Chains A and B, each alone.
Chain A
C-alpha cells in the first residue's frame, strides 16, 4: 500500500490550470522530492495534499484512504494527520518553542503528561532541548528550522510535507540542516513530500524525484535515473549541466551535427529536427577526437576547468583538468553511449 497516492490532480487559479493532471505515489517511509522551477505548481500540489487548497479534480489517497475526490474533501484536515514545514517556517512569534510545539498536541486533545513527554522527545530528536523556553525570534535561522521540523513531526503525522524549507539559508548552514533533515527522516521513517527548486536538495535527500514543469510531472524516478536517463528535453536541461543543440536527422541512422555526420539510431525521426543532448563530462578532450571547436571562455571551479567552446557559432560546454587558453582550438570526442536524442 502506498502511503500517498495522487491521481490526475488538477488545480486552477482564476481559470488557469496551475496543476494539470499530475499523478504520483509515495511508499511508506519514502522521501519524494517535487523538483521544478518556480511557478511549476509544486507548492500548489503540496498545499492541495495538505488540504489548504481545494483541488478542482483528481484524487488524493492517504494510506489507502481516499482523502479527496474532485472538489470534495472526504477526510477533513484534522483527520489527515499531516505535519507541514512552511517555506518561511511560520513559527508563531508570540509563543515559546515549547508552546509552538505543544499547539498541535493540544488541538488533538492530548493530556498534559503525554504532551510533555512527546515535546521532550521531539526536542531531543532535533537536539534543541535547551531552547524550550525561548521565543523563536531569539533563535538563529538554523535553530528556527529545527523547531519548525519538530513542530511538524511531534504529532507523529502520517505524512510530512516540506515546502522549500531550506530556501533563504546560506550554503554552509544549508548543508548541516539538510543532513539533519535526512537523519530525522530516516530515524522517524515518516513518509515525506519535499518541495524544492534546488537540485542539490532533491538529489541528496530524496529516494525518488518527480521533476515538474508547467503544472505537469515530466519524469518520476530515482535520482540516478533522473540524472542519467532524462525522459524529456526539459528534464535533461533542468537537471545537472547539459549541452543541448538542435540537429537534423538524415535517414534512419544518421544525424547531422556541426562536426559532420554521426551514426546513431534516430528512432524514426528521419528528416526532422531533433535535439542532441550530452553532459560536459561525457565529452573527452583529446587530439584524436573527431569533434572540434574553439575555446571562447574559461572558468575554474572546484579543481576543474570549465570551457565554453564554439563550433561554427554553436556554443557548448566542456570540462577538463588541463588548462587551455581562450582562442585555442580543441578536439574532443563524445561518448556515444551517453548521447541522447529528443
Chain B
C-alpha cells in the first residue's frame, strides 16, 4: 500500500510537470473562440509555408545521425576491443563534448571558421576555398550538423562500447575457434550489437531534431527555432504549438518503430557470465589505426574547440569581465542546478523504480511513455509551462515569477533522463534483494531506506551529476520561462554574445565548461578514496 501510494504520487507528479504542460498547450492550440479549430495545423500541412523548415530539420537530424555514427561506432569499437594505449584518458576526454553544452562547441567553431576566424584564414590561403564558402558552411544546416555530431557522437560511442563489453565472450570464443577475427566480428559480434547501435542512432536523431541552441546560434531555420520565433517574436503561441506538432509526431513514430524493431531482440543474450572479460583484438595495425582515429577525434572534438576558447580570451581581464557580467547567472545556475539535480534524482528514483518494477505488460509501455518526453523539444516544453502557469491565481503567479518555474522546466526536460539512468542502475540489483526484506514483514519505506537506496549509492551520485550537468547547460526552456532576475548562465552567455567582444564570450564559455566539468572531476578524484562496498559473489 505504502509502495503503491508513493509510486502513484510520483507518477502523478511526473504527469503534472512533464505531460500536463504539453497536453494543455496542444489542447489550447485547437480551441479558439469557444470552438475547435485546426486552422494553424491546416497552415502547416496544407500549405508549402513550412515545407522548407521541416525538411531542414530532417536533414539536420539525418546528417547528424550519420556523421556521429561514423565517429561513435569506431570509437566505441576501439575502446572496447583493442588494447589502445591511454584508453582511459581517451574515454574520459570523449565525454567532454557530450557534457559541455552544444552551443559552446558551436561558439568555438564559429570563432574558428567564421569570416575572420583563424582556420578560415588558413583554409582560404592554402586551399581553393574562399573565406565566404568556409563561413557559409559553418552557418548552414551542415555546419550545425557538424557541431551536433561532435556533441552527440559520444552517445553512439558509449552505447557501442557498452554493448561490446557486455557480449558474453563465450559467444565470440565459440566462433573464434573455427573462424577468423573478422569473420567473427562480421557474423557474430556486429549482429549482436546492431540493436544497441540502432537505438543509439535513434537517440541522436531525436536529440538533434529537438536541438535548439546550435541552430539558433548558427541562425539555421529549423522547427525548433521557428517555434521560438513564432512565440517570442510574433507572440503567436498557437502557431508555435502547431509547428511543434510535426516534430513530436516524427519523434513518436520513430520511438514506436524502435519499440517494434526491438521487440523480441532482447539484450538478455548479451548477459554477462560470472567470470569473463571482453575479448580484445590483438592486432597491431588495428591498434595503430585506433590511435590515429581516436587522436583525430580528440583533436577535432575536444582540443580544437576548448583551446580556441582559451586562446580567444587572450587576457585574464576577459574572465573578470565575464564573471562580473554573468555574476547573477553563475549564482543562479549553481543554485537552480543543485536544486534541479536533487529533485531530478529523487523523483527520478521513484519513476525509475516504477518503470523497472511494474508488473505485467504495462512495464515496457510505462518506460516508453516516460522516455518519449525526453524527445520533446525544449522550446515546446517552455511554451507549455508558460501556458500552464502564467495565470493570475496567487499560487501560479508565485511559481511563474520565481525560480520554481525554471526548476519545473528542468523537471519537464530531464525527468525522463534521470529516471532512465536510475532504472538502469536498478536493473543491476537482483529483485530478491527487495523481496528478502519484504518477507521479513518490513514496511516498504524501511526497505527503501535500508536496502534500495544504500545499494543505489553510486547510481544516485551519478544521476545527480549528470542531471546537474544537463541543468547547468539547459537553454531552450529556460530562455522562454525565466522570470526577470532569474537568468541562468546560458542565458547570460546568449545576452553577452549579442553585445560583448569575443574575448568575454569565450571567457564565459570557459566558465560554463568548468562549472559543468568541475563536479564530475571532483567526484572522480574523490571516488577512489570512498569506501567501496564489497561485491557479493555467488
Contacts and interface: CB of A to CB of B under 8 A. Distances in A.
Contact of A83 (B361, B435, B439): B439
B536 A137 contact: yes
Interface string A70-95: 00000011111111101111111111
B435 A90 contact: yes
A104 B537 contact: no
B427 to A, nearest CB: 15
Contacts of A136: 534, 536
Interface string B215-231: 00000000000000000
A88 B535 contact: no
Interface in B343-401: 360-361
B265 interface: no
Contacts of A91: 436, 536
B432 A107 contact: no
Contacts of A86: 432, 435-436
Interface string A159-179: 001000000100000000000
A78 B455 contact: no
A326 B189 CA distance: 45
> Which of B430, B446, B538: most chain A CB closer than 10 A?
B538
A137 B534 contact: yes
B443 interface: yes
Contacts of B536: 91, 93, 136-137, 144
A104 B538 contact: no
Interface string A253-284: 00000000000000000000000000000000
A108 interface: yes
Nearest to B537: A137
A107 B439 contact: no
Contact of A52 (B430, B438, B440): B438
Contacts of A78: 441-442
A221 to B, nearest CB: 29
B440 A107 contact: yes
A107 B442 contact: yes
B526 interface: no
Contacts of B537: 137
Interface string A21-51: 0000000000000000000000000000011
Given A14-B361, A90-B436, A77 B534 contact: no
A300 interface: no
A104 B454 CA distance: 17
A82 B439 CA distance: 6
B451 interface: yes
A103 B430 contact: no
B531 to A, nearest CB: 10
Nearest to B435: A52
A138 interface: yes
A316 interface: no
B437 interface: yes
B533 interface: yes
A3 B360 CA distance: 32
Interface in B72-103: none
B433 interface: yes
Contacts of A76: 441
Contacts of A50: 435, 439
Contacts of B446: 106-107
> Which of B430, B441, B451: most chain A CB closer than 10 A?
B441
B52 interface: no
> Which of B435, B440, B454: most chain A CB closer than 10 A?
B440
B442 A89 contact: no
B450 interface: yes
Interface string B255-278: 000000000000000000000000
B538 A88 contact: yes
Contact of A104 (B430, B440, B455, B535): B440
Contacts of A144: 536
Nearest to B454: A94
B534 A135 contact: yes
Interface in A54-69: none
Contacts of B439: 50-52, 77, 82-84, 161
Interface in A230-267: none
A130 B418 CA distance: 42
A52 B360 CA distance: 14
B538 A168 contact: yes
Contacts of A135: 533-534
Nearest to B457: A94
B307 to A, nearest CB: 44
B313 to A, nearest CB: 46
Nearest to B455: A94
A155 interface: yes
A103 B437 contact: yes
Interface in A89-147: 89-95, 103-104, 106-108, 135-138, 141, 144
A220 B444 CA distance: 37
A111 B303 CA distance: 61
B290 to A, nearest CB: 36
Interface string B422-435: 00000000101101
A94 B433 CA distance: 11
B378 to A, nearest CB: 38
A124 to B, nearest CB: 21
Contacts of B438: 51-52, 77
A104 B442 contact: yes
A93 B534 contact: yes
Contact of B441 (A52, A79, A89): A79
Contacts of B433: 90, 92
A138 B434 CA distance: 21
Given A88-B538, A137-B534, A103 B455 contact: no
A77 B440 CA distance: 8
B533 A93 contact: yes
A175 B432 CA distance: 25
Contact of B440 (A95, A103, A161): A103
Nearest to A50: B439
B441 A92 contact: no
A107 B441 CA distance: 7
A84 to B, nearest CB: 4
Interface string B441-480: 1110010001100110100000000000000000000000
Interface string B518-538: 000000000000000111111
Contact of A141 (B360, B451, B538): B538
Contacts of A93: 455, 533-536
A251 B455 CA distance: 69
A74 B533 CA distance: 39
Interface of A: 14, 50-52, 76-84, 86-95, 103-104, 106-108, 135-138, 141, 144, 151, 155, 161, 168
Given A92-B451, A104-B441, 16 more contacts: A14-B360, A50-B439, A80-B441, A81-B441, A83-B439, A88-B430, A90-B433, A92-B436, A93-B534, A104-B440, A106-B442, A107-B437, A135-B533, A136-B534, A137-B536, A137-B537
10 A-B pairs with the lowest CB-CB distances in the bound complex, closest first:
A137-B534, A104-B440, A78-B441, A107-B442, A90-B432, A93-B536, A90-B436, A86-B432, A84-B439, A135-B534
30 contacts: A51-B439, A52-B435, A52-B438, A77-B438, A77-B441, A81-B441, A82-B439, A84-B436, A86-B432, A86-B435, A90-B430, A91-B436, A92-B433, A93-B533, A93-B535, A94-B454, A94-B457, A95-B450, A103-B437, A103-B440, A103-B450, A103-B451, A104-B441, A104-B442, A106-B442, A107-B441, A135-B534, A137-B533, A138-B534, A168-B538
Interface of B: 360-361, 430, 432-433, 435-443, 446, 450-451, 454-455, 457, 533-538
